[in-house]
Chain A
Amino acid sequence: MSSSLLLSKKNSDVTENGTYKHTTSPIVTGTSVLALKYKDGVMMASDCLASYGSLARFRNVRRLQPIGTHTILGASGEISDFQFIQNQFEGLMLKEHVEDGQKLETSSIYRYLSNVMYGRRSKVDPLWNKYIVAGVEPSKNNNIFLGFVDLYGTTYQSSVMATGFGAHIALPIMRKYAEPRADSLTEEEASKILDDCMRVLYYRDARSFNKIQKAKVTAQGVEISEPYSLSTNWDFAESIIGYGS
Chain B
Amino acid sequence: MFRNQYDNDASTWSPQGRIFQIEYAIEAVKQGSAVVGLKSNTHAVLVARSPNELASYQKKIVKIDKHMGVAIAGLTSDARVLGNYLRSEAMRFRMVYDLQIPVGRAMEALGSKAQTNTQVYGGRPYGVGLLVIGKDSKGPHLFEFSPSGMTSEYFAFSIGSRSQTARTYLERNYAQFENMDLKTLIKEGLTALKDTLPQDKQLDAENTSIAFVGVDQDLTIVDGPEVAAYLETIDSTEMELE
Contact = CB atoms under 8 A, between A and B. Distances in A.
| Complex contact flag A–B (Cβ < 8 Å) | yes
Interface of A: 99-100, 102, 104-105, 107-108, 110-112, 115, 139
B111 interface: no
B79 to A, nearest CB: 25
Contacts of A99: 105, 108
B136 interface: yes
Interface of B: 95-99, 102, 104-105, 108, 136-138
A111 B98 contact: yes
Nearest to A111: B98
Contacts of A139: 137
Given A100-B105, A102-B138, A107-B98, 5 more contacts: A100-B102, A111-B96, A112-B96, A112-B97, A115-B96
Contact of B137 (A102, A110, A112): A102
A24 B136 CA distance: 42
Give the 10 A-B CB pairs with smallest separation, nearest first: A111-B98, A108-B97, A139-B137, A108-B99, A102-B102, A100-B104, A107-B98, A111-B97, A108-B98, A102-B137
A6 to B, nearest CB: 31
20 contacts: A99-B105, A99-B108, A100-B104, A100-B105, A102-B102, A102-B104, A102-B105, A102-B136, A102-B138, A104-B97, A104-B99, A108-B98, A110-B98, A111-B97, A111-B98, A112-B96, A112-B97, A115-B95, A115-B96, A139-B137
Interface of A is mostly: helix
Contacts of A102: 102, 104-105, 136-138
B74 to A, nearest CB: 27
Contacts of B95: 115
Contacts of B102: 100, 102
Contacts of A110: 98
A166 to B, nearest CB: 26
A115 B94 CA distance: 12
Contacts of B97: 104, 108, 111-112
Contacts of A108: 97-99
A108 B98 CA distance: 5
Nearest to A138: B137
Nearest to B137: A139
Q: Give the interface centre of B95, B97, B104, B105 by most chain A CB atoms within 10 Å.
A: B97
A105 B108 CA distance: 21
Contacts of B104: 100, 102
B140 to A, nearest CB: 14
A133 to B, nearest CB: 12
Contacts of A105: 99
A99 B102 CA distance: 11
A112 B93 CA distance: 10
Nearest to B102: A102
B104 to A, nearest CB: 5
Nearest to A102: B102
Q: Give the interface centre of A99, A102, A108, A112 by most chain B CB atoms within 10 Å.
A: A102
A139 B138 CA distance: 10
Nearest to A109: B97
A59 B95 CA distance: 38
B212 to A, nearest CB: 21
